Amino acid sequence: MCSEAEFTDNMKLWQKNIQVDKEVELFTVGKDREMDLYLAKSDVLGSMAHITMLESIGLLTSGELKTLLNCLREIYQLADTGEFVIEEGVEDVHSQVELMLTRKLGDVGKKIHSGRSRNDQVLLDLKLFTREAIQNLVSEISTLIDVLIAQSNRYKDVLLPGYTHLQIAMPSSFGLWFGAYAESLVDDLQLLQAAYKVTNRNPLGSAAGYGSSFPLNRQLTTDLLGFDSMDYNVVYAQMGRGKMEKTVGFALAGIAATLSKLAFDACLFNSQNFGFIQLPDEFTTGSSIMPHKKNPDVFELTRGKCNLIQNLPQQLTLLTNNLPSGYFRDYQLTKEIFLPAFGELSACIRMTTLMMQSIKVNEHILDDPKYTLLFSVEKVNALVLQGTPFRDAYKQVGLEIEAGCHSRAGGKQRSAVANPPQTRLTHTHEGSIGNLCNDKITAMKQDIISGFHFETINDAIKKLLA
């Protein structure tokens, strides 16, 4: 059995007898220790599956496997409770886990790397981390969709102006407004599911990108970790580094785009010039000089953070788009861009959910006479239903509006549009004010979420940790 001192003098998995220049070491390690803390649980799970496979092909005894698994479960608990640390001088999470095993178990701890490279190890860690992070996002997005649908149903009869070119256009409703963002997020889930399927393939066993002379059982590790399949070609498995992150990045950017647009709407509608919604006082902040201010900082920060997340695919593309096949150290930098994005987006989703649950809606927006012309299309359609050709009806109402505008300087506006036939609209087609199809949107959401099959990976991980 080696001593702790003997192992810690050679904590780099690749180091032989030459001492690396300290400045070079600082530069090349960069933020890896910090970023690798995101991957600690994943690294332990991957090691558990890998050594189980090693025992099945005779590279570990059953006794060694049992001892290693017990120790790895203890390390997993440290990572799960946030107590896992990468010590000063230890290069990365892989080295830290192996160090902890070797300190406790001696030479048997050194055996866990057989048939593995840090290349396929970090590939696996990233995929395991991303799978779990996507599952958390899906749960949070599902909750936000439910809140939006509930608000849509609650306020389905409350009208508000719709806009094109930031000009008053046609009647909309809070039922449409809330429901529109719910359906947008459902589409975002569909893209996220596609990214998840790219993620949920096992790269372990590709080693440094060219396989191994050991008779590895890659299907076994695929099953143990609950993957849909493996990345079959070992060169392609390594080519997936950066590609997986970019694919997921596009999905995260889509979610962020929906939240950013919603946040902008909310900021606009909350302003005094619009007055369509109101935030509870405890959800706003004040000004250091203007005592009347109640600022929608949460929505503003959500908009800003989500705009930055939308840049994720571009950053990853610029980092990886001119690299040939094989591994390059450039890929280390993808972690700094990719891993924190999940937490940022998750926080934005949770805050948006809280705000959407709590906003107060102005139920009398259209009482203001400045919105009268919203109903011009309703007047045109009423004439068409009475037999007037559409173009003639359009021209008639348009001339009435022009005449009314010209006469305003001389007195009260009088036109067929000034007193519209109704302000409680009877739109009935699918997806309109009177037929929101919220049940269909909810059903789409449930169908997409079911298609992730999270239960497969959850059952696999539960068995591995049991």
Model confidence over 124-133: pLDDT tens digits? Answer: 999 999 999 9
pLDDT for res 21: 64
CATH of the domain at 255: 1.20.200.10
129 and 89 within one domain: no
Instruction: Lowest mean pLDDT of 226-235, 285-294, 314-323, 429-438, name the range.
Output: 285-294
State how beta strands 201-202 and 229-230 pair. Answer: parallel
Residue 333 has pLDDT above 50, yes or no: yes
Q: Is residue 301 part of a domain?
A: yes
201 CB neighbour count, 10 Å cutoff: 18
More confident residue, 219 or 429: 219
pLDDT for res 13: 52
> Highest mean pLDDT: which of 181-185, 288-292, 329-333, 376-380?
181-185
Amino acid letter, residue 223: D
pLDDT tens digits for 120-162? 999 999 999 999 999 999 999 999 999 999 999 999 999 999 9
Average the pLDDT over 319-342 and give the result.
90
What distance in Å separates the CA atoms of residue 285 and residue 295, rounded to the nearest whole number? 5
pLDDT tens digits for 433-454? 989 999 999 999 999 999 999 9
282 and 307 within one domain: yes
Beta-ladder partners of 201:
229
282 pLDDT band, cuts 50/70/90, is confident
Query: How many domains is the chain partitioned into structurally?
Result: 3
282-297: burial string, b at 16+ Cβ within 10 Å, e else? ebbeeeeeeeeebebe
pLDDT for res 326: 86
Q: Is residue 376 part of a domain?
A: yes
pLDDT for res 2: 37
Q: Is residue 265 part of a domain?
A: yes
Q: Which of 115, 119, 60 is nearest to 94 (CA)?
A: 119
**What whole-number percentage of the chain has pLDDT above 90?**
73
94 pLDDT band, cuts 50/70/90, is very high
- CB-based contact 417:379 (threshold 8 Å): yes
pLDDT for res 16: 54
What distance in Å separates the CA atoms of residue 348 and residue 21, rounded to the nearest whole number? 42
- Half-sphere exposure of residue 206: CA atoms within 13 angstroms, side-chain side: 26
450 and 321 within one domain: yes
Q: What are phi and psi of 158, to 5 degrees?
A: -90, 115
- CB-based contact 234:210 (threshold 8 Å): yes
Q: Which of 126, 65, 62 is nearest to 94 (CA)?
A: 126
Name the residue range of residue 275's domain.
Answer: 119-364+440-465
What distance in Å separates the CA atoms of residue 73 and residue 184, rounded to the nearest whole number? 41
Average the pLDDT over 170-198 and give the result.
97
